[in-house]
């Protein structure tokens, strides 16, 4: 066999190993970051879904949904999520009956009817979560600025759930020299506005009643809703990790088979 042929064979054997390493790296979740341009430190939380084998805590996701519904949904939409997603594997895993009840608590616009008019009806599992405002302009007119949709906010912001958690608990008095306009608040984690944010502190102690007896502190509620928003941003995370692990094992086995096949084929060549 020519020297070039041997080099090609060796390259073929190395490629699966490289691919396996790359795939393993892809399963890792985001780590902590520091807020650029400010002194606020975004703490790296020990989320249950961190790491290549991490999974969502179902109880935490259910509590996080409760925080979203009772607090966040008053201003923020979640248009990329359907009610039926709440019953899917890998998420809060509400029962079909619970999802039906949850959906019916919302009013959605449907139509046209036989007369060509739109009408309102109770929500169903097939419906998307309705926005609290008919459009962004109406939201901006009511709040001063249109609040972002929360469906994929955990993937859209650097730091992901760590950032969301830090933002929710990061409100404080503005330091000397920082001017906060009327109706504004100071949160050093929100670097987009140099710490000045229009959203008031959304959470207060005891705001949401947890049916499972979990302490309803601001810290706990912020953790729960951050985990929930991580799930809405990546509802297939657990399936992706399982598939990545299976492919990793396949590539390792393939590398071994190719190695021994090469040894067998060229065993009589000196």
Instruction: Give the distance between the most distant pair of CA atoms in the chain.
Output: 87
Domain boundaries, the chain: 1-30+238-270
Residues, the chain: 270
Q: How many Cα atoms occupy the beta-carbon half-sphere of 155 within 13 Å? A: 9
Q: How far is CA 194 from CA 2, 155, 189, in A?
A: 64, 22, 9
List the pLDDT tens digit at each of the 270 positions of the chain: 444 444 344 433 333 333 333 334 333 333 333 433 445 679 999 999 999 999 999 999 999 999 999 999 999 999 999 999 999 999 999 999 999 999 999 999 998 888 888 899 999 999 999 999 999 999 999 988 899 999 999 999 999 999 999 999 999 999 988 889 988 999 999 987 689 999 999 999 999 999 999 999 999 999 999 999 999 999 999 999 999 989 999 999 999 999 989 888 888 876
Quote the pTM value: 0.80
Q: How many Cα atoms occupy the beta-carbon half-sphere of 241 within 13 Å? A: 16
Buried-state track 192-201, b at ≥16 Cβ within 10 A, e below 16: eeebbbebee
> Which residues are within 8 A (CB) of 43 and not within 5 positions of it... i.e. 6 or more apart?
32, 162, 165, 166
């Amino acid at each position: 066999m020519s020297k070039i042929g041997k080099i090609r064979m060796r390259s073929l054997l190395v490629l699966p190993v490289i691919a396996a390493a790359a795939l393993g790296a892809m399963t890792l979740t985001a780590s902590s970051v520091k807020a650029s341009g400010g002194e606020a430190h975004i703490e790296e939380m020990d989320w249950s879904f961190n790491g290549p084998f991490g999974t969502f805590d179902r109880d935490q996701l259910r509590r996080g949904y409760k925080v979203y519904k009772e607090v966040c949904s008053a201003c923020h939409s979640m248009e990329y999520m359907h009610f039926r997603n709440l019953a899917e594997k890998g998420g809060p895993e509400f029962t079909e009956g619970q999802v039906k009840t949850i959906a019916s608590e919302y009013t959605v616009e449907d139509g046209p009817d036989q007369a060509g008019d739109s009408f309102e009806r109770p929500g169903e599992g097939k419906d998307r979560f309705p926005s609290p405002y008919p459009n962004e302009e109406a939201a901006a007119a009511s709040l001063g600025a249109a609040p972002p949709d929360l469906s994929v906010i955990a993937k859209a912001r650097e730091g992901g759930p760590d950032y969301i958690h830090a933002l929710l608990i990061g409100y404080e008095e503005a330091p000397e020299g920082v001017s906060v306009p009327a109706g504004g608040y100071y949160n050093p984690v929100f670097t987009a506005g140099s710490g000045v944010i229009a959203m008031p502190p959304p959470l207060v102690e005891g705001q949401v009643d947890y049916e499972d007896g979990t302490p309803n502190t601001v810290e706990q509620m912020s953790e729960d809703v951050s985990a929930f928003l991580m799930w809405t941003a990546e509802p297939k995370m657990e399936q992706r990790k399982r598939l990545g692990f299976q492919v990793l094992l396949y590539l390792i086995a393939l590398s071994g088979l190719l190695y021994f096949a090469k040894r067998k084929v060229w065993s009589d060549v000196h």
